[in-house]
Structure 1
Amino acid sequence: MKRLLILSFCILSLSSCDSDNKPDGLLSQDKMVKVLIDIHLTEGLTSAMPVTYDSSKVLYNLLEKDVFLKHAVSDSVFTQSMLYYLRDPAEMEQIYSRVVDSLVVRESSNGIIDQF
């Protein structure tokens, strides 16, 4: 989760202030929520494994590709969508509010891994 937050802030600082230009293939908020949920589950899974940091990073990259395949999204479309939504903090807050709510519900039902 730390990696995604750091990446998000870096992307935000590099992005332009013009939030009206929607990228081609922009993911809807609903799709972003679903992808981000799986991304965060993947991060949690790999960070909890008793392996070295380098090994967990390699594993994370492989699992991240699986997340993109599962949702039929390319990494470039995901990145461009993140850039777009990060330009509007209120919209990104709505997205992450839904992500966190979904993860809390999954955690409370003890089915995080099962649902992933």
Structure 2
Amino acid sequence: MNIPMRFASFILFVLMLCGCSEDEKPPQNTLSEEKMAAILTDIHVAESRVNRLNLRSLDSSLMIFNHLKADIWKRHKVDTLTYSKSYNYYMSHPQLMTRIYEKVNKKIEIREKNNNIKL
């Protein structure tokens, strides 16, 4: 391999390593992993509650679920745009989303042990 080709290969390799960095900062106003885990926990619990109602109408289920989600946004003091942007950011970073869902699972287990929810 000639010198310019080696240099180009080296530069490409360095760029690839930099692109795989975990130190990438999330965009401004992205919810923290802990906050995201708390919100997702509440969303999954709300989904479970709606499913347990066994409503025949999908419209009724969606109406109730949307009402529960509105309560979740108020409780966590977050708007849907901030949540959506944060969710999209974390979904594009699978390692971070995996960490968040590990927290969600722990939170649900704790709630089940304390009899705060039934799934």
Please report the TM-score for the alignment, with normalisation by the length of structure 2. Answer: 0.72
- Give the AA of the match of 1:27: L
**Structure 1 residue 21 displacement after superposition:** 6.9
Structure 1 or 2, whichever has the larger Rg, is: 2
Q: Which segments of 5 or more consecutive residues in structure 2 lack a partner in the other structure? A: 1-21
- CA RMSD of superposed structures (Å): 1.8
Partner of 2:39: 35
**Structure 1 residue 23 displacement after superposition:** 3.3
Per mean C-alpha deviation after superposition, the further-off stretch among 19-28 and 33-42 is 19-28
Do structure 1's residue 79 and structure 2's residue 84 form an aligned pair? yes
Do structure 1's residue 65 and structure 2's residue 70 form an aligned pair? yes
- Give the AA of the match of 1:38: D
Partner of 1:45: 49
- Give the AA of the match of 1:22: P
Partner of 2:102: 97
Q: Which segments of 5 or more consecutive residues in structure 1 lack a partner in the other structure? A: 1-18
Number of paired residues? 95
Identity among equivalent positions (%) equals 32
